[in-house]
């Protein structure tokens, strides 16, 4: 079920009413959450509900058994049961054919012919997200940072919570799970702020991302016939497509959760205003970046130790992050390229230079800040080419065409007028993001306006723009494929 669908527009208010009608009994509320979440997920393919249920049962049981034993060996075995079950499902559904095809290619290169058939495997929506969420639970119990729960209903609701089930944020058990144990009461201010965040998320998805996708898909699919200036447009359109699409999903998920009295972690913090790549990765897909930091990077030694260890750990974390996104060498190269971007900052100890908000107490950035943001955005766009390309050859051909003499020619798009209109929309979008960069989301500050008519005019304008520029067909979110 898509957030931007008629189905969800009917589903959400029905669940909202049932949920708050059950507010006198916490257990009943949690049962409503589970029922709604399983219906929401089963809307795609009911067969994959068994995966969520099995993962829930395994991690619930492992958590209880971990708490019952102090034996180090037994605890390690239990932890590995959870890791192997969760990553086993993820590896089979997402990476089986990738490893098989590369295994065959490697033997063919050495002169051996290997006969094997790939499987027609359907990737379960959101499996990369909820497996990491449940893993955080067992790992934290193993580290004795979290006590296990015996309340299976609450735990099942935590694992399957529908707003963030299929594309995050990837919640930590220490943050989200305790919220299922306490009585929730309806807060009007929280709900209205959640609705604002949902509206902004829909604008990002349906106006910015979906319209950028039309041009990005056309240009990337036929990159061999376009000149450098058109390829630049394609790369930039994809950069705003993926940002609007993914951060839009996160805004909708966080906003929907607030309607039900839950607080999810922030997942994006205006990453395209970053002044270096370290800042970018503190602001982009925060829930995944911090997950890898806490459960992979720091256990490897983090930024401690000798320089070669810092280099090793940085490449591991970025390569793993790239591979998490998909079974394609393009994602691995994308991760390696970001590691190359990040390493000079780490080795020179400048990766923490930009912690605060850019131009924090000023209306406009300085010239230096503008240049740093432009450089960071340019490097990010180049990396996005590998992320979007069909394969490595496609990415390099795209970049070679981009950095050619035709870079300074007039773009050759058939619908140049629509592309110009989209550029204006993106400009307005970024101005709004800039004005609201100190907030949790761009239009959160509207609540401080004293005149009600101004607020409602802004809402009406956003809804009008969404209505005018929305696609006629429902479009899935990019991260559903991951």
Catalytic machinery residues: 325
Half-sphere exposure of 50 (CA within 13 A, CB side): 2
Distance CA 360, CA 369 (A): 11
Give dist(CA 113, CA 106) in Å, integer: 10
CA of 183: how far to CAs of 25, 27, 104, 253, 258, in Å? 8, 9, 55, 21, 14
3-state SS string for 94-156: HHHHHHHHHHHHHHHHCCCCCCCCCCCCCCCCCHHHHHHHHHHHHHHHHCCCCCCCCCHHHHH
Query: For tokens 């393009």, what's the residue?
Result: 330
State yes or no: cis peptide before 169, omega within 30 of 0: yes
Q: How far apart are CA 403 and CA 216, in angstroms?
A: 18
User: Token digits for 97?
Assistant: 């054919």
Can you read off the two tokens belonging to residue 52?
Answer: 């969520």
Instruction: Confirm if 223 and 234 have CB atoms less than 8 A apart.
Output: yes
Please, what is the end-to-end C-alpha distance for the chain in angstroms?
16
DSSP string, 30-91: HHHHHHHHHHHHHTT-GGGHHHHHHHHHHHHHHHHHHHH---HHHHHHHHHHHHHHHHHHHH
Residue with tokens 């590995």: 80
Neighbours of 290 (CB within 10 A): 17
């Amino acid at each position: 079920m898509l957030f931007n669908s008629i189905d969800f527009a009917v589903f959400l208010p029905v669940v909202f009413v049932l949920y708050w009608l059950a507010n006198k009994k916490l257990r009943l509320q949690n049962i409503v959450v589970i029922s709604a979440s399983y219906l929401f997920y089963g809307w795609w393919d009911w067969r994959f509900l068994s995966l969520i249920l099995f993962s829930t049962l395994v991690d619930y049981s492992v958590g209880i058994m971990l708490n019952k034993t102090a034996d180090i060996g037994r605890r390690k075995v239990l932890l590995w049961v959870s890791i192997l079950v969760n990553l086993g499902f993820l590896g089979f559904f997402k990476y089986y054919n990738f490893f098989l095809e590369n295994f065959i290619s490697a033997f063919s290169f050495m002169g051996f012919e290997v006969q094997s058939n790939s499987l027609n495997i359907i990737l379960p929506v959101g499996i990369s997200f909820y497996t990491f969420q449940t893993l955080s639970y067992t790992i934290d119990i193993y580290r004795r940072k979290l006590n296990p729960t015996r309340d299976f209903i609450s735990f099942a609701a935590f694992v399957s919570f529908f707003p963030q089930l299929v594309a995050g944020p990837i919640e930590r058990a220490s943050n989200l799970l305790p919220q299922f144990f306490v009585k929730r009461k309806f807060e009007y201010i929280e709900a209205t702020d959640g609705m604002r965040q949902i509206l902004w998320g829909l604008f990002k998805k349906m106006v910015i991302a979906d319209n950028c996708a039309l041009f990005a898909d056309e240009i990337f699919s036929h990159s061999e016939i376009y000149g450098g200036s058109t390829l630049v447009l394609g790369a930039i359109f994809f950069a705003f497509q993926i940002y609007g699409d993914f951060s839009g999903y996160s805004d909708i998920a966080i906003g929907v959760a607030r309607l039900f009295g839950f607080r999810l972690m922030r997942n994006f913090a205006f990453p395209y205003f970053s002044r270096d790549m370290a800042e970018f990765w503190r602001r982009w897909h925060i829930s995944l970046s911090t997950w890898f930091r806490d459960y992979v990077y720091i256990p490897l030694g983090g930024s401690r130790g000798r320089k070669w260890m810092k280099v090793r750990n940085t490449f591991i974390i970025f390569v793993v992050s790239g591979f998490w996104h998909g079974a394609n060498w393009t994602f691995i190269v994308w991760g390696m390229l970001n590691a190359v971007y990040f390493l000079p900052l780490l080795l020179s100890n400048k990766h923490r230079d930009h912690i605060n908000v850019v131009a924090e107490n000023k209306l406009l950035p300085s010239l230096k800040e503008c240049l740093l943001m432009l450089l960071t955005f340019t490097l990010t766009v180049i990396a996005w080419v590998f992320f979007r390309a069909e394969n490595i050859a496609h990415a390099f051909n795209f970049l070679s065409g981009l950095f050619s003499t035709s870079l300074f020619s007039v773009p050759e798009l058939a619908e140049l007028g629509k592309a110009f209109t989209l550029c204006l929309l993106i400009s307005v979008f970024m101005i709004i993001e800039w004005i609201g960069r100190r907030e949790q989301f761009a239009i959160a500050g509207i609540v401080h306006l004293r005149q009600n008519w101004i607020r409602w005019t802004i809402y009406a304008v956003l809804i009008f723009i969404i209505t005018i520029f929305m696609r006629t067909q429902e479009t899935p979110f990019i991260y559903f494929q991951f």
